[in-house]
Amino acid sequence: MHGAVPEPHTGWTFLTNHARVLAAIAEDPNSRIRDIAAYCRLTERAVQKIIADLEQDGYLSHTRQGRSNTYRIEQGVPLRHPAEVEAGVTVAELLSVLARHDAQRSQEDTDGARPQPPRPLTA
């Protein structure tokens, strides 16, 4: 999760800040709020609020270890949108799509291969 922060972006995006924070935590469950905020280009306060939302709704929990937290994602919980709930799409499936995307992008950077579109989320 360490690295250069991308250029600022304006306009709408496909993933909510909640999804971006969840993906950052999936990448490193021991991340500090400061690191998540920098990675997602959010304020630390916004990340704290998002983490509280995710914990309150059962998507995330944490264990305190000294001065740091280790986060645990509840992967079997259905996503919040009514269509996603009806389709049975879970947090694990969302994170799987994001992980495949990151892996494909890393592979492209390594060998210059053309990306394949991700498979659709299915129940």
Tell me the CATH number at 100.
1.10.10.10
pLDDT in tens, 5-36: 455 556 777 788 999 999 999 999 999 999 99
Q: Write the CA distances from 112 to 26, 97, 109, integer angstroms.
A: 26, 21, 6
pLDDT in tens, 58-114: 999 999 989 899 999 998 888 887 776 667 788 888 888 877 766 666 666 666 655
pTM flag (> 0.75):
no
Question: Does any domain span residue 35?
Answer: yes
Taking residue 45's Cβ as centre, other Cβ atoms within 10 Å add up to: 10
Taking residue 65's Cβ as centre, other Cβ atoms within 10 Å add up to: 9
Residue 43's domain spans which residues? 17-111
Q: Give the count of domains, the chain.
A: 1
CA torsion through residues 29, 32, 36, 39, sign? negative
